[in-house]
Chains A and B, each alone.
Chain A
Amino acid sequence: MSKNRSYDAVVIGGGHNGLVNGAYLAKAGLKTLILERRHLVGGAAITEELYPGFQFTTFSYALSLLRPEIIHELELTKHGFMPLLMPTTFAPGENGQYLLLGQDHDENLQEIARLSPRDVDAYEQYEHDISRVCQALKPLLDAVPPNIQSKDPEELAHMAGLAAYLRDLEPRVLHNAVRLLSGSAADFLDDYFENPLLKGYLASSSIIGTKVGPMSQGSGLVLLYHNIGEHDGAFGSWAFHKGGNGGFTQVLARAAQSFGAEIMLEAPVANVITKSGKATGVALADGTELEARIVVSAVDPRRTFLDLVDPRELPADLVENIRRFRFQGTSAKVNFALDGLPRFPALGDRGDQYRGFTNIGPSMEYLERAFDDAKYGWYSARPYIDCAVQSTIDPDMAPPGKHVMSCFVQYAPYHLRESDWDTERQGFADTVQATLESFFPGFGDLVLHREVVTPLDIERVVGLTEGNIFAGEFLAPQMFFFRPAPGWNQYRTPIEGYYQCGSGTHPGGCVMGAPGRLASRQILDDLRAEG
């Protein structure tokens, strides 16, 4: 490796936001290098053959919040972007009940009527209300939030503009937005629905990746967040990228390279090199030093501010805010290679119900009890599980007749009471498998291989602090103006030329790409201002 190579911009971390950011910078004409610690890009959005013939989405497993602008501006369709439809959502209940939703509106209403005639138009009203909130708040996802600590006239105008925007929203839409952003999902859902299974299914979106139960204040924000993703013009709709999210990040990598970005694998970064308060380059773990005017961290806020640079170079209040930034990962995965499709007795030998998410969260109480265990430092005895048998959508994921099943599991708190994840790994996976067995009798007999991913594994392998999948909790005090810290929510850092673009910045986690895109705009604007 040659010493002292020089770039306009070096991006630390080849996760999806790093790739998006690097692609935009390269597209703007900057000589850009993306550094990835591992042997493959993608960060937590990777696909790996962990068992012969079976492709696993080890961590992140579906696509929804990806900003449509990125698809077009980075010309992803030229590089193999292929968001496959997941046509069903299956919510098995206890005692053989189930809810099976599909793509046909009228059929879905019939299906809900089977559970509760009252909930039919309630469901339509709910969908309409939440879509209106999403439509109202969507522009906030696609813009840099104002800096509330700034007295700069431009920022004050920015704040005033935001206030005016909110003031002009329809009162009912604004009120619903506030109820969701500050309240609990349970309260919101109770206003509409009576059926526990339907509520359990909908409430499941309010806990994913976050250490809250559906009855916790703050779960409404998570619910809203999981609905604001849009896919082909529908809010709250999800897709499975061809080849998994690893297939998607490979598309991003090809796009970045097509604009001239260089990607260096197995290149862990030791630190950002600074000189008189300015970033001047990056030192790799092997001692190589790379020069760059712009250094962008795509890793999480703790690593961005406390590991890659010397915290002593930073303002004390920022360091304190970053230390207080909550990670507390509570999610894990158990991925299975299966010999066939699971059998849900009430549906006989049918298998088409698995062409989307299968939601093991049969009531809000079930979810809340699962959370109770986590509150006191243990994994759930009956966990929430979001399953996806992705080989039903993309046959390239498994050999003919066999299947891969990705199971996202909650709650699995990073800090276990008087134990650790290396000790509890198999016991945890057994609990997950036993839960699946209770819904799908005979499930265990189908298991050819089991891959357990604990929060500690997420931290070790991907580098996400405490295994938090969003690179920092989705809690109101950590969002928008405050992500990752007040005053530093505009992708800049106190070190000139050093920027942040990971999911720990606005608008946050999920395979969305918005932080990477918005950060690139900020960087390019700053470069233009410098002249």
Chain B
Amino acid sequence: MIKTTPFHDRVSALNETGLWSHWAGHLVVDRYQMSEKFEYFAVRNSAGVFDTSPLYKYRVYGRDAQRFLAGVLARDVRKCRPGRAQYTIWCDDGGFVLEDGVIFRSSEDEFLLTAAEPNLAYFSDLVGRHSVVIEDVSAQYAAIAVQGPRSRTILSGLAPDIADLSYFHFANTKLGGVPVMVSRTGYTGDLGYEVWVPAGEALTVWDAVMEAGDGHGMIPFGQIALLMARIEAGLLLIKVDFESSRYAWNDHQRSTPLELGLGWMFRDLASDDRAFIGRNALQREIADGTSRWAMEGLLVDWAEYDRLHREAGLIAPKDHVPYQFEMMLYDDDGQRAGYATSFMYSPMLQRHIAIARVVPALSKPGTRVHLEMTINHRYVTVPAYVARTPLYKPDRKTA
């Protein structure tokens, strides 16, 4: 039986389209209004509200919580001080990525970890002799993301302390009289916050936030608008841009952190004395330079894209709805050079963009590759240029 989120009464009343998806066993709105692009622009220009409750949430606490997580998570959680959060990944011992999530550190020995997929057995089996408790609190907390340039004004109107919250910091405060945790995090690449609410009081918080957003152009946004924003922001999506190594059939389906462009998490590996899962393999990969791929952004040559369609007697389609399937890439000599995993027309960048993996030799920004698509039922390629993600990065995101 599919579940509904604690905000369901509100989101279902606002969903004018009747379009729903399933996400982590919950009903979620594809788009509330007749235009996902309008919802997307609310995120980029004013503010949008997204029900992110279906995320899996694990509470990890106990005397050895830090030691346990430092050995399980690939990024060094010891550097995450209370009141801060980290985007992190966890790997298998082959150095392949299992999953990504965000870890919030509430105190010396208490953490909250989000994940897109269920992980309770995986983490529990690793506890061993550590004095640590892992609790699945997914259903206990509802979460809404309030994202966009007006999000700070709107939320700090309800709780002034939010105004000073730095990027990837969080605070316990009250919204509409309800104790909540507010973090400066999100999945849109814009200024934004996520509000973590006790499930039973979700509607009170929703109403307070919506009321505060009144007159600010704030509207709820659905999955499609979220995916548009995340591609511009270069944020990876499991089962789209990578697969969990845990359920992979072969290494073609697996990715290492370096291959996903997450090498920055291991800049201090030399001085990092942790024995975390995947460390040896990761170290070998770094030393031997054996990464098969580099995860990069692509900017499609707009003029060529237009020309190819025009000469085929067509209006060049500029569809902002993400196409999340593989599209092949070739180098100038026609050799296989990688593949795009997410592709869309970006309204902010006014051209088609993609998240892609390219062979490391072609990962330098500005390198030309050739993206395959079909026009009039024939394969053609259009030039595209490698670019560092995020492709869209407003200063306000981290300011």
Contacts and interface: CB of A to CB of B under 8 A. Distances in A.
Interface residues of B, number: 31
B35 A104 contact: yes
A392 B348 CA distance: 19
Given A135-B315, A394-B217, A71 B34 contact: no
Contacts of B217: 392-395
A242 B45 contact: yes
B34 A395 contact: no
Interface in B285-329: 302-303, 306, 310, 315-320
Contacts of A402: 215
A268 interface: no
Contacts of A232: 318, 320, 345, 347, 350
Interface stretch (B36-44, B48-56, B94-102, B248-256): B36-44
Interface in A32-83: 68-69, 71-72, 76-77, 81-83
A348 interface: no
B214 A401 contact: yes
Nearest to B306: A68
Kindly name the residue among A71, A84, A393, A402 whose own CB sees the greatest number of chain B CB atoms within 10 A: A84
A87 B38 contact: yes
Contacts of B310: 135
A399 B347 CA distance: 26
A399 B217 CA distance: 11
Nearest to B320: A232
Contact of A103 (B35, B214, B347, B349): B35
Given A72-B302, A87-B37, A81 B350 contact: yes
Contact of B350 (A77, A103, A352, A355): A77
B317 A233 contact: yes
Contacts of A400: 214-216
A393 B45 CA distance: 9
A104 B315 contact: no
Contact of B34 (A87, A135, A399): A87
B315 A235 contact: yes
Nearest to A105: B34
B35 A102 contact: yes
B351 interface: yes
A352 B34 CA distance: 11
B46 interface: yes
A135 B303 CA distance: 16
A355 B349 CA distance: 23
A381 interface: no
A107 interface: yes
B329 to A, nearest CB: 22
B33 interface: yes
Contacts, number: 78
Given A232-B345, A235-B315, A102 B37 contact: no
A514 to B, nearest CB: 16
Given A233-B318, A355-B38, A68 B33 contact: no
A84 B303 CA distance: 22
Given A84-B41, A395-B150, A77 B348 contact: yes
Contacts of B351: 72
A446 interface: no
B215 A401 contact: yes
A85 interface: yes
Nearest to A108: B34
B35 A233 contact: no
Interface string A75-116: 011000111110100000000000000111001000000000
A335 B35 CA distance: 28
A85 B38 contact: yes
B275 to A, nearest CB: 45
B35 A82 contact: no
A100 to B, nearest CB: 10
A312 B281 CA distance: 84
Interface in A452-510: none
Contacts of B17: 104
A82 B45 contact: yes
Given A85-B347, A233-B316, A400-B216, 20 more contacts: A69-B303, A71-B350, A72-B302, A72-B350, A72-B351, A76-B350, A82-B45, A84-B41, A87-B34, A104-B34, A135-B310, A232-B318, A242-B45, A352-B33, A394-B45, A395-B46, A395-B150, A395-B216, A399-B215, A401-B215
**5 nearest interchain CB pairs?**
A400-B215, A233-B318, A395-B217, A103-B35, A104-B34
25 contacts: A69-B303, A71-B350, A72-B302, A72-B350, A77-B350, A81-B350, A82-B348, A85-B35, A85-B37, A85-B38, A85-B41, A85-B347, A87-B33, A87-B34, A104-B35, A135-B315, A232-B347, A232-B350, A233-B318, A352-B33, A355-B38, A392-B217, A394-B45, A394-B217, A395-B216
